[in-house]
Structure 1
Amino acid sequence: MAAPRERLGSVRTEGNLALQGSTGVEVALPSQPAAPAPLCPHGPTLLFVKVIQGKEEARRFYACSACRDRKDCNFFQWEDEKLSEARLAAREAHNRRCQPPLSRTQCVERYLKFIELPLSQRKFCRSCQQLLLQDEWEQHEEHQVVGDISVTQLRRPSHLLYPLENKKTNAQYLFADRSCQFLVKLLSSLGFRRVLCVGTPRLHELIRQSALGEKQPHMKSLLLDIDFRYSQFYLEDSFCHYNMFNHHFFDGEAALNVCRTFLQEEKGEGVILVTDPPFGGLVEPLAATFKKFIDMWRKGQSQDAVENHHKELPIFWIFPYFFESRICQFFPSFCMLDYQVDYDNHALYKHGKKGRKQSPVRIFTNVPANRIILPVEEGYRFCPLCQRYVSLENQHCEHCNSCTSKDGRKWSHCLLCKKCVKPSWIHCSVCNRCALPQHSCEGPKDGCFLCGEVGHKRSACPNACVARKPDKAARKQKQRKSNKMKMETSKGQPMNHTSVPGKKQRRERAHQYLGS
């Protein structure tokens, strides 16, 4: 709910943020792109760069913003690569083939026809994940079809649709009813009248259902989601097909205007953005997207509000707690709540015997923590010193002057480390830090783990860099010999024939840079 692309690391914002990490593939977010990024089926691609020993390699490349596995989207292009007209035309044709079979307008027309049908004629094909009109029944005779689709079912499409659970692409984990009910009640109690749901279909459904049933003060909701299947259940003012990793509206300016109008309604008052990105998603492209929403929201405010630069668009960013430092790096005003968010279809992130005792998913927000009341019946208490609600076992530390636990357990203060640590950790005199008792003790923290010298870390060890070069060269030479043997065996070519077809060479380079 990131990495090649299992090793995708930090994002680099040129001119502002230094490259982090020692080796891997990182995202470059130019402050002013020289040219528009090329398009893949998921919209504008992102610019990546390979970093070795903290240094950026000269050649950068574009890859898909939404998919971390090349099996899901194999787009690859060097930043300085010039494509022929034929290749550009082929790419455009491929992008068109990968789009949903029906346009947004066609989906709305089908939906309006479907809801006019009597209950006995409302059918849904589970095999195709599609609402069926009467003249389409024959095409789906051999499929798994369910009938008598009620209005209640139409209002909760996430219960009809199979969730997408590809962790590297669009991991679609859906809120448990407990967490969803809590969020709706909280948003209502805080006085929000409009909720922009970015990747939170269950929350969108419950808000609309609550408004119809008048269980809560009336709230409106707009869902932005990459799952185009929701297009067949909502009108244009309720859903936009959207990619949060590159801020791309698939239906163009019309959908963008729907979102802009929603944010700027009532001069931007009473609106909040709630987002639940895939846990494997890179933090920095998401942060860049949310800042674009903030800019969009500010343009609709009154002049007095514009002059007040301290005013922010309220945001609930739902993400695992171990991303706290990364999120706060981009949004310093954010704090992490202790509330543990649960999911229906996640093996671990839920209550009960089959899940963890504590879910690691939290709410990061710029709404003041002292305004947010967490349910006492679910194991939360108010800390008068911190002036916020915390987990019952999250005890206030007199040394840190804070309730320091991140995972719901009682943490212990280490006087040597001068901070609170997990209860299962102990202080290691060799590493000079707290760690698990069975950790691999590699030596003093202030020295290099490889050569033992003080003044640099393992990631920047000059001896390691020198040692790796011969091994890398030997591996390349061995690979070249192996390729020659394969070519000779399969095509009968002589041993001195070393040329490789351009397409294969590009594929090998792409895999090398993406680490796949």
Structure 2
Amino acid sequence: MEEAGEALQREGIKVLLSAQSGEHVPHCPHGPTLLFVKVSQGKEQGRRFFACSACRDRKDCRFFQWADEKVSQARLQSREEYNRSCQPPMSHQQYMTRFQEFVALPLAKRRFCRDCQQLLLEGDWQEHSGHRVLGDVSISHLKRPSQLLHPLENKKSNAQYLFTDRSCSFFLDAITRLGYKRVLCVGTPRLHEWIRSKSSLEESQRKVKSLLLDIDFRYSQFYGEDEFGHYNMFNHHFFGGEAAHNMCQKFLREDGGRGVIVVTDPPFGGLVEPLAFSFKKISNMWSPTSDPGEPE
């Protein structure tokens, strides 16, 4: 296995990571880009370049920039506008306002558009009249959003092969048995909803809390800002900015940082080095010895 790993480092594309990775680098719709270089026989070949951290296929994210390239102000402005156009149509807070209005509707008026993957208020019905719409969306449906949403299937950037209920039950039993009280679910939405649904039935002293970090913004429709963070695990980017970062850090440091565990299920084709780098940063967020104002 070590020989295979060394071979991968000697041939192909290498990602260059440092303590400053993510700072003062160009952004794509998925956050800060990563620095790459072609290598052959363990030596760099050609120019270094920036590319998307999450998408290895240029069809999924077209961003590319040579590291030594001078980019015009007009191009930078165009890039910023494009990045903004790729973000969710609403803020997390706006999604939560809609969610509260949705829950207040009678069951017969609760609808979900399968084509647009969106909870519908009465004012949305006309716009979605020709779409496939699910009616009578119950509270039980809302507690299991992964069963409403279509899984994202790109193996290299999303690959939502969701855990079965049996697997979730096994994980939660093990977590509880080992004495953990909080679970940071990174890319594991079904485990997050399973923990939340089961913990609501437990006595307060036995409850397990969870926080979901996921690149799939659609979960913003169902969870508050203290339950879900829109996050890219390949560059440790919180799309909600400093507020989302601080929310996650508060969760990790609760009770002096004791009793917390991270469970993750990365995309199959994702790069290992950036993932390890991100989880090191999460560990630094958790560490009570690190200053909240310091960069991870």
Q: Specify the TM-score bucket, using the shorter chain as the normaliser.
A: over 0.9
Give, as a single letter, the amino acid of the residue that structure 2 aligns with 1:26.
Answer: K
Aligned partners of 2:22 and 2:235 also within 8 Å? no
Aligned mate of 2:220, from 231, 248, 256: 231
Q: 1:138 to 1:34 in 2, by over 3 A?
A: closer
Deviation, structure 1 residue 19 = 8.8
Measure, in 1, the Cα distance between the counterparts of 2:229 and 2:136. 27
Moved more, 277-286 or 53-62: 53-62
Aligned to 2:285, the other structure's residue is in SS state helix
Q: 1:35 to 1:230 in 2, by over 3 A?
A: closer
The answer on 1:98 being equivalent to 2:86 is yes
Deviation track 1:336-371 (CA, whole Å, cap 9, x = no partner) reads xxxxxxxxxxxxxxxxxxxxxxxxxxxxxxxxxxxx
Measure, in 1, the Cα distance between the counterparts of 2:18 and 2:251. 29
Deviation, structure 1 residue 31 = 3.5
Aligned to 1:136: 124
Give, as a single letter, the amino acid of the residue that structure 2 aligns with 1:138.
Answer: Q
Deviation track 1:89-120 (CA, whole Å, cap 9, x = no partner) reads 01001100111111111111111111111111
- Looking at both structures, which has the greater relative contact order when contacts are Cα pairs under 8 Å and sequence separation is at least 6? 2
- 1:29-68 equivalences under 5 Å are 29-32=17-20, 36-68=24-56
Aligned partners of 1:267 and 1:300 also within 8 Å? no
User: How many residues end up aligned between the 2 structures?
Assistant: 286
Aligned mate of 2:99, from 93, 107, 111: 111
The answer on 1:24 being equivalent to 2:12 is yes
Q: 1:34 to 1:209 in 2, by over 3 A?
A: closer
Aligned to 1:450: none
Aligned to 2:158, the other structure's residue is in SS state coil
Q: Which runs of 5+ in 2 are unaligned?
A: 291-296
Q: Which one has the largest radius of gyration?
A: 1
Measure, in 2, the Cα distance between the counterparts of 1:33 and 1:265. 28
Identity %: 62
Aligned to 2:252: 263
Deviation, structure 1 residue 34 = 10
Deviation track 1:268-321 (CA, whole Å, cap 9, x = no partner) reads 0111111111111111111111111111111369xxxxxxxxxxxxxxxxxxxx
Aligned mate of 2:148, from 160, 174, 181: 160
More helix by share: 2
Deviation track 1:436-464 (CA, whole Å, cap 9, x = no partner) reads xxxxxxxxxxxxxxxxxxxxxxxxxxxxx
- 1:262-411 equivalences under 5 Å are 262-299=251-288
Q: Which runs of 5+ in 1 are unaligned?
A: 1-8, 11-17, 302-516
Q: 1:233 to 1:33 in 2, by over 3 A?
A: closer
The answer on 1:169 being equivalent to 2:162 is no
Measure, in 1, the Cα distance between the counterparts of 2:91 and 2:175. 33
Q: 1:79 to 1:105 in 2, by over 3 A?
A: same
The answer on 1:124 being equivalent to 2:112 is yes
RMSD: 1.9
Measure, in 2, the Cα distance between the counterparts of 1:80 and 1:104. 36
Aligned to 1:247: 236
Give, as a single letter, the amino acid of the residue that structure 1 aligns with 2:263.
Answer: V
Per the normalisation by structure 2, the TM-score is 0.93
Measure, in 2, the Cα distance between the counterparts of 1:291 and 1:244. 11
